[in-house]
Amino acid sequence: MSNHHVYINGTWHKGNEEKRSIINPSNEQVITEINDASLQQTREAIEAARHAFQYTNWPADPSYRISVLRQLADLLEKDTEKFAYIETINTGKPIRESRLDVSDSVQCLRYYANFLEQRTMTEKKMADGTTSKIIAEPIGVCALIVPWNFPLLLGIWKIAPALAAGNTIVFKPSELTPLSLLELTKLIDSIGLPPGVFNLVPGGGSPVGETLVTHPHVEKISFTGGTKTGRWIYEQCAGSLKRVSLELGGKSPLLVFEDADLDNAVEWAMFASFLNQGEVCVAASRILVHEHLYDSFIDKLIKRLDSLHIGDPLDEKTEMGPLISSSHLEKVETYIQLGLQEGAVLLRGGERIKEQGYYLSPAVFVNIHQDMRIVQEEIFGPVITVQRFNNDKEAIELANDTIYGLAAGIFSRDLERAEQIARKLRAGTIWINSYHTPYVDAPWGGFKQSGIGRELGPQGFTAFTETKHVNISENGKPLGWYQ
């Protein structure tokens, strides 16, 4: 890879002198070294995006933006294997999951191209005979900031609607996982967008991320990451009333009712909890099981856990890879110790399982109290708690009793009852008898401290627009003050 990793105004630049090692979490080897964007380059990227928005032919007409999104989708699809490989060596996620991320990214680009094509402007005849047009306009310079768990997919969830709406972009990947975004930027470069429409500034939360958040010429922050960082960003944006979307953490419950198909529920619980090593914002980290099924649920869960394929994420059979970094592994281990100190019983897992790589066996805690920190705080790894409940009321109370509200799963054969329960759960996405699938045409985001705003679907587009009302009078006569 060339040593130019900063993309500003349509040109690649060398970043800081200092090099950052990008590590493969499955073997702890250095994949490559990156020169982060400097503070000065971050500011230049913002000015380039501002200039492109104000003085070039961008946002051009929608047909051009549609063709950009479709070209990018085609290029990405053609390079699926390459992107999946890069994502896997950089994040440690199993290769089959990386392919899904690429395919979901392609779908997202096509969805917003089609959305733009089918969109019609709202025009209304008003009561006084005038005509009103309601126009969705781009906001301007948008800073897009993503975490390390789904670098490409979460990046595309922002890039596609931001470009569709006609904004200009300064993008910051996580310092741990910039590789797929560097590769994506090469594809964007090859399409030949006007210089400055898309800019890439790899680097840490400080100074690159903080500069984006606090700079007066950035008009919108779209952030996915931890709740603590999200709160800080929200505070910074309050001063200037900068537009802000936050997709934050979660502590999502999966509820198994007494009439559920047990084998099915166990299989879904495994997937819901341990996909991407549990490093998923919507991961089902709290399993709530009706007491009639509880013992058999635990038996089956443990059997299934023992057959889980954990290992080299490039191996097609692998179901779970390593955690992202040694410091994150240590953080997750701290929670396992904390759970034991709090009096929970560790039924399985929570151990390092290879000499090389940040592997941890999935941990299952029982003997749980609702006020334990392992129940209330996001661990963001393969650690779950399994609790019993007696009736629907108790299940709902336990499910809703955290500061988070990102997602939930319900397992029951009675769909009418499941829908009633769904209405009472305080979360942005509820899956009934399934889990995890993000639908590109349905909104994604959180209640409570899991975020503000929604991505995907029409809502994801609206988040990158300002609404303008233009009222037209054919031959407006002066009203006079009191007529």
Contact mark string toward ligand NDP, 277..316, x via CB under 6 A: ----x-----------------------------------
Provide the minimum distance between the beta carbon of 446 and ligand NDP in the complex, in angstroms, as a whole number.
Answer: 6
Q: Which of 248, 332, 386, 396 binds ligand NDP (CB under 6 A)?
A: 248
Cis peptide before 59 (omega within 30 of 0): yes
Reference 23, options 10, 36, 34, 32; nearest CA is: 32
Structure tokens at 389: 């409940």
d(CA 367, CA 341): 12
Reference 458, options 104, 64, 115, 68; nearest CA is: 115
Mention every residue, 6+ apart, whose C-beta is less than 8 A from residue 425: 253, 396, 399, 400, 408, 410
Residue 59 or 250 with smaller CB distance to ligand NDP: 250
Binding segment for ligand NDP (CB under 6 A), chosen from 80-88, 208-216, 353-361, 392-400, is 208-216
CB-based contact 370:403 (threshold 8 Å)? no
Residue 313 or 453 with smaller CB distance to ligand NDP: 453
Provide the minimum distance between the beta carbon of 434 and ligand NDP in the complex, in angstroms, as a whole number.
Answer: 18
CB-based contact 473:458 (threshold 8 Å)? no
Residue 71 or 149 with smaller CB distance to ligand NDP: 149
Instruction: Provide DSSP, 246-282.
Output: EE----EEEEE-TTS-HHHHHHHHHHHHHGGGG-STT
Count residues binding ligand NDP (CB under 6 A): 32
Provide the minimum distance between the beta carbon of 233 and ligand NDP in the complex, in angstroms, as a whole number.
Answer: 6
Is position 142 annotated as part of the catalytic site?
no
Contact mark string toward ligand NDP, 94..123, x via CB under 6 A: ------------------------------
By CB under 6 A, tell whether 92 contacts ligand NDP.
Answer: no
299, HSE (Cβ side, Cα atoms, 13 Å): 6
Choosing from 108, 142, 237, 281, the catalytic residue is 281
Is position 33 annotated as part of the catalytic site?
no
d(CA 246, CA 446): 9
Provide the minimum distance between the beta carbon of 183 and ligand NDP in the complex, in angstroms, as a whole number.
Answer: 17
Residue 196 or 250 with smaller CB distance to ligand NDP: 250
Reference 298, options 364, 372, 379; nearest CA is: 364
Contacts to ligand NDP by CB under 6 A: 145-149, 154, 172, 174-176, 204-206, 209-210, 213, 224-226, 229, 232-233, 247-250, 281, 378, 380, 406, 446, 451
Catalytically annotated residues:
247, 281
